Amino acid sequence: MNKIRKPAVAGSFYPAEKNKLIDQIKLLLDITKTNEVYENISGLVAPHAGYLYSGKTAAYAFNTIANKNYETVIIISPSHREYFPGISIYDGDAYETPLGITEINKSVKEKIISESKNIFEGIQGHRNEHAIEVEIPFLQAVLKDFTIIPVVMGDQSKIYVDELSQKLAEVIDDKTLIVASSDLSHFYSRKEAQKLDLNVKKRIDDFDFNGLQNDLELKNSEACGGGCIVSLMKSAELKNIKKSKVLSYSDSGDVTRDTSEVVGYLSAVIYN
């Protein structure tokens, strides 16, 4: 492998030392175990803040796929640090975290970008983006052998959401998992944040991706990866998968004890 995307936020968003990272993820998974079982899981929604803040909420999602068999995990992320029109899939060979190297499934990547004007192979959005990177150690902890497709949406307008949804529906099967990486509202009081965030929660629980898209466009809710969530749900619907459930909701004030300005987090499962 010639081109490996090295960790950009190890040591800040999560521990850079392998054993400390393993211990933290194990603890988060242990305290979020549930007796509920979801069959035929095709997608997850997971937050992407530092593990101290959103790791527990994320763990609820990753617990649902523990020890299941997926050959490919498609991780869809917003682009926090650079804008570009379209959707970028990393043009290298793998992503690396302190837990090891996870290879990119190049054959599936080629199918997604084939004959697309808006989905392309590149480095845009991958240089220092954290929203894909923080999901990978959780995946490495709960799955065995898998490859990834790291997808960054430089623009989450409906035209791009629609094309990505269609392309994903063409490649996903029962050995493929999609993870939509997204936080919710940022820096409102807890009371105001919950008004916005609970709209997202209801749309996911109702499997109403059109309503979610409209809410995001009308500013009735906020999610930095809102287009990622809609893409996941719409691609699932195209495969006749129409069940979703929010597993956990929290905000940064649960950790900081400051509720004057919070960031919202949510995890969910898409299943059949």
pLDDT level of residue 221 (50, 70, 90 thresholds): very high
Q: Which residue segment(s) compose the domain that 77 sits in?
A: 4-271
**Residue 1 scores a pLDDT above 90:** no
Q: Give residue-wise pLDDT tens across range 49-88.
A: 999 999 999 999 999 999 899 999 999 999 999 999 999 9
Q: What is the mean pLDDT of the chain?
A: 97
Helix (H) or strand (E) run with residue 26 in it: helix 18-30
Check which CATH number belongs to the domain holding 186 and give it: 3.40.830.10
Share of the chain above pLDDT 90, in %: 99
By CB neighbour count within 10 A (0-12 exposed, 13-18 middle, 19+ buried), where does 151 fall?
buried
Q: Give residue-wise pLDDT tens across range 97-152.
A: 999 999 999 999 999 999 999 999 999 999 999 999 999 999 999 999 999 999 99
What is the number of structural domains in the chain?
A: 1
pTM of the predicted model, to two decimals? 0.97
pLDDT level of residue 227 (50, 70, 90 thresholds): very high
Kindly give the pairing relationship between strand 176-181 and strand 41-46: parallel
